[in-house]
Amino acid sequence: MSHNSEGAGYFLYHSIGLYPGKEEAMANAMAEFARVWSAPNDAQWGYVMGKRQAFIDHWRQLINAPEGTLTTCETVTDGLHAIMRALPEGMLRGKRVLVTADCFPSLHFLLAGLAPRMGFRLDTVPLSEGRPWVETADFIDRWGPDVGLALLTWVTSIASARMDHAALVAHGRDMGSLIAVDITQAAGLLPFDARDPAVDFVLSTSLKWLCGAPGAGIIHADATLLPELQPEARGWFSQENPFSWDLDAFSYAPDIRRFDTGTPPSVAALASLPGLEWMLAQDRAAIIAHNRRLVERIIARADDLGLPLHSPREAERRGGAVMMRLPDAERAAALVADMRQHGYGMDARGPVLRLSPGIVTQESAVDAVFDRMRESLSG
């Protein structure tokens, strides 16, 4: 049975994300943008900047960020680069920047390149013994007072593993380190509060559970830090008054707008706003419960097939996805291709199959997938 038409067989919330009526909502938003942007009047900028601000305000609501502490960026990597280069000169020199081996690789690539330029040592905590993720205790063991900044991955992309966020932040405060958190893999599904416990920086995209468009990233910075931050990339929108064009009198805006550079790119935010509006209007507890119910069913069926989990078994240590290890990468690729032909969306990284059921995914699709999987793996 195909589940293509209604998305009932969609297990790719770790990638893009769907919600009922997404195509129509995005099409309407983009059509409205096209009408306004193409009109022979001067209404364009007020409209675009208002929509961008609505995007920012929805994100502020989502993570409890105070006014003036959240702005847009294109990607999490761009956002982290902006933060790193905005830190006071020499602040990280001679110190360690602590990351996990299961952080998103793009961020590791960035930090490895910045280390010799900024004079810090990138320290990567390896995967914990016998686990495809890093345990909280192992990260804390490596986190001493010489760590200038720690990058926390709230939920990992390779195992959907979640460390003890509160314990990590508490330890980081004791060490006097700056704390940045990448929340991409569970933003919109699991509740996250930037102020409880308070962290210094939050980064995310609007993809995955938020069902947004590529290019709609966000940076949040703690308000008390902002006066110390001087972003390397700066432009007319970095100022308190963007229309102050005195070439010899540049000064940063007092709030997060100092991270804005030239004319803010806004189309991705406009395309992502319908998804944010939809998500914030829902019963979040019901969405989490639906995900948890389907994931538990996936785990039960994986156990029945003898497929080892590549994710934590306990719900409180896991994001919204669950991964399992197939016999080999070739078998995994063939299975994903077969499932796609029958209307089921999932993917694999090597031999690891990744499934993330969301609001449109139906429980019947879980059983249909594993019934086909049983036939495929036994064939």
124 with 265, same domain: the answer is yes
The rounded distance, in Å, linking the Cα atoms of 135 and 127 is: 8
The rounded distance, in Å, linking the Cα atoms of 45 and 79 is: 24
User: Hey, what are 207's tokens?
Assistant: 């993809």
Domain hosting residue 175, numbered range = 42-280
CATH code at position 342: 3.90.1150.10
The rounded distance, in Å, linking the Cα atoms of 196 and 206 is: 21
276 with 329, same domain: the answer is no
Q: Is residue 228 part of a domain?
A: yes
Q: pLDDT tens-digit profile of 286-334? A: 999 999 999 999 999 999 999 999 999 999 999 999 999 999 999 999 9
Q: Is residue 24 part of a domain?
A: no
The β-bridge relationship of strands 96-100 and 121-125 is: parallel
- Place 379 in a pLDDT band, splitting at 50, 70 and 90: low
User: Hey, what are 341's tokens?
Assistant: 């032909």
pLDDT at 156 over 70: yes
Q: Is residue 29 part of a domain?
A: no
Amino acid at position 36, single letter: V
pLDDT at 4 over 50: no
- Place 377 in a pLDDT band, splitting at 50, 70 and 90: confident
CATH code at position 175: 3.40.640.10
Query: To 5 degrees, how large is the angle CA 285–CA 288–CA 294?
Result: 140
Answer with the one of 223, 258, 280 that is the final residue of a domain.
Answer: 280
263 with 363, same domain: the answer is no
- Write the CA distances from 90 to 53, 96, 214, 229, 342, integer angstroms: 34, 12, 33, 13, 56
182 with 94, same domain: the answer is yes
The backbone torsions φ and ψ at residue 352, rounded to the nearest 5 degrees and listed phi first, read -95, 120
Q: pLDDT tens-digit profile of 61-119? A: 999 999 999 999 999 999 999 999 999 999 999 999 999 999 999 999 999 999 999 99
pLDDT of residue 31: 98
Name the nearest CA neighbour of 158 among 360, 347, 336.
Answer: 347
212 with 329, same domain: the answer is no
Contact present, 29 and 277 (Cβ < 8 Å): no
Number of domains in the chain: 2
240 with 318, same domain: the answer is no
320 with 273, same domain: the answer is no
User: Hey, what are 277's tokens?
Assistant: 């509006």
B/e letters for 174-207, b = 16+ CB within 10 Å, e = fewer, are ebebbbbbbbbbbbbbbebebeeeebbbbbbbbb
